[in-house]
Amino acid sequence: MTIVFIGSNILVVIYFIIKLNLIQDLISQPSTFFNTSYFIEISNNLGYKDWHATYIALNNLLACVFLLNYTTKPKPLKKKALAIFIIVLFLAFSLILNSRIIFLLNLLIIPFFLFFKIKTVKFKIIMVISMLLLFFTLFKVSNNNKLGRIFEHPIQYYVSNFSAKTILGVRYQVQECSVELISRSPILGYGIGYEKKLLTDYCFEVKNFQNKYLKSYTSHNVYLSIMFSAGIFGLLALVYMLFNNLILGIMQRDLIYVSFLIIFIIAFLTENYLIRLNGILLFAFLNSYFYQKNYIKIEKI
């Protein structure tokens, strides 16, 4: 299963390398390569609506977790080197995709996974020091530039103007509209299928909020979207499922499952990941698979 999943992600990266002429652009304009808006071309200009930079980057991050797990096992050195090369490829592609939430999740999940996966104290210390040096370097670099359009401004701007509006950007206005509508029907919500219609009309006509990249709106937040459709009871059911499964993964020390759930719990804050078929299928399949695997272990005890 993991081989198929990792292989499919490699094929997607290769496809975009060819489709967007990434190697040619890197050679011809290396100074501006990571500041080019490839994510707009992927999302809007390739003629396939389910190509979305955040979804691709999240899939790549999950593939990195599987590959990291492989490298911590007693495997041939050549295969481990190949796995590390693919991880680096995915991380570089993450910069090109320009998804801020997934970029930040890369910085969170990869150190988290390695810290708990590595058994030797010496290597844990080396890993922590290496990650601190990496974070310091990224911070210093992004003080003077946008770090490949991951941020609209250098990071110093976000530090000195820290607020939800600054961090969320265009999503702040959309989520503000969503919260105002939810507050009018918080118990039962509006029903499935009404979010895009009601939210778009409210943002355009009442709040007079428009964005050149968006012709219609969703909450860009799974938790708000669930409340919009099913109210507080729907949200409680989702939160219970997520944290019940997270506790199960922690109890069974399934680091891959815990990492998977943390990725989605955080990504759900800025992207309505369950509104697209490719998002629903991936989350439903992997969550069901890992839950069943860990639940069987409990039954055998």
- Tens digits of residue pLDDT in 274-286: 888 888 889 999 9
Instruction: Return d(Cα 142, Cα 123) in angstroms, integer.
Output: 28
In one letter, which amino acid is 65? V
In order, the DSSP letters of 273-292 are GGGSHHHHHHHHHHHHHHHH
Q: Tell me, what's the pLDDT at 49?
A: 56
By mean pLDDT, which of 17-26, 87-96, 162-171, 264-273 is the weakest? 162-171
Neighbours of 146 (CB within 10 A): 16
pLDDT digits (tens, 9 = 90+) for 127-165: 889 888 888 887 777 776 666 667 766 777 776 777 777
**The whole model's pTM is what?**
0.88
The two three-digit tokens of residue 5, written as one number: 């999943």
What is the spatial distance between Cα 232 and Cα 252, in angstroms, rounded to a whole number? 30
Q: Where are the alpha helices (DSSP H) in 72-146?
A: 77-97, 100-117, 121-142
pLDDT tens digits along 8-65: 999 999 988 888 888 888 888 877 777 677 777 776 655 555 678 888 999 999 999 9
Question: Taking residues 261-285, what's their average pLDDT?
Answer: 90
% of the chain residues with pLDDT over 70: 87
